[in-house]
Amino acid sequence: MDKLMVLPGDGIGPEIMDVTVDILDYIISKKNLKVEYEFGILGGCSIDKYGIPLTDSVLEACRQSKAILLGAVGGPKWASTDPAKPRPEDALLKLRKELGLYANLRPIKVYDPLVSVSTIKEHVIKGIDILFLRELTGDVYFGKKERIVKDGVVTAYDTMIYRDFEIERAARMAFEIAGSRSKKVTSVEKSNVVESSRLWREITIKVHKDYPDIELIHMYVDNAAMQLVRNPRQFDVIVISNMFGDILSDEAAMIAGSIGLIPSASLRDDFFGLYEPIHGSAPDIAGQGKANPLGTILSMAMMFKYSFRQEEIAAMIEKAVNAVLEKGLRTSDIYDPAAGGSSLVNTKEMGAAVIAEIRI
Ligand code: IPM
Ligand code: MG
Q: Give the model confidence (pLDDT) of 52-88 as tens digits.
A: 999 999 999 999 999 999 999 999 999 999 888 999 9
Supply the residue whose CA is at minimum distance from atom 8 of ligand 1: 246
CATH code given to domain 107-257: 3.40.718.10
C-beta 136 within 6 A of ligand 1: no
So what's the pLDDT on residue 31?
95
pLDDT at 360 over 80: no
So what's the pLDDT on residue 49?
97
Mean pLDDT along residues 181-189? 98
So what's the pLDDT on residue 174?
98
C-beta 92 within 6 A of ligand 1: yes
Q: Where are the domain boundaries for CATH 3.40.718.10 in the chain?
A: 1-102+268-360, 107-257
One-letter amino acid of 233: R
So what's the pLDDT on residue 83?
85
For the sheet with 129-135, list strands across it: 35-39, 2-9, 67-72, 273-275, 265-267, 103-109, 129-135, 237-240, 184-189, 215-220
pLDDT at 118 over 80: yes
Distance between Cα 223 and ligand 2 center (Å): 20
Q: Residue 142 — very low, low, confident or very high, per pLDDT cuts 50/70/90?
A: very high
Selecting from 3.40.718.10, 3.40.50.800, 1.10.10.1100, 3.40.190.10, what CATH number does the domain 1-102+268-360 have?
3.40.718.10
Q: Please state whether the predicted TM-score (pTM) of the whole model is above 0.95.
A: yes
Distance between Cα 246 and ligand 1 center (Å): 7
Coil, helix or strand at residue 107 = strand
Sorted by sequence, the CB contacts under 8 Å of residue 52 that are 6+ apart come out as 46, 86
pLDDT at 228 over 90: yes
The residues annotated as belonging to the active site are 141, 190, 222, 246, 250
| DSSP string of 193-243, one letter each residue | T-HHHHHHHHHHHHHHTT-TTSEEEEEEHHHHHHHHHH-GGG-SEEEE-HH
Sorted by sequence, the CB contacts under 8 Å of residue 346 that are 6+ apart come out as 289, 290, 331
Query: Residue 309: left (phi > 0), alpha (psi -120 to 50), or beta?
Result: left
Q: pLDDT tens for residues 254-272? A: 999 999 999 999 999 998 9
Which atom from ligand 1 is nearest to the alpha carbon of 72? Answer: 6
Helix (H) or strand (E) holding 120: none
As a whole number of Å, the end-to-end CA separation of the chain is 21
Distance between Cα 266 and ligand 2 center (Å): 13
pLDDT at 122 over 80: yes
C-beta 246 within 6 A of ligand 1: yes
The CA-atom distances, in angstroms, between 242 and each of 108, 201, 221 are: 17, 15, 12
Helix, strand, coil percentages (3-state) for the chain, rounded to 5, are 45, 20, 35
Mean pLDDT along residues 283-312? 97
Distance between Cα 38 and ligand 2 center (Å): 26
DSSP-derived letter for residue 121 is -
Helix (H) or strand (E) holding 190: none
- Which residues sit with Cβ closer than 5 angstroms to ligand 2, an ion? 246
C-beta 166 within 6 A of ligand 1: no
Query: Residue 334: left (phi > 0), alpha (psi -120 to 50), or beta?
Result: alpha
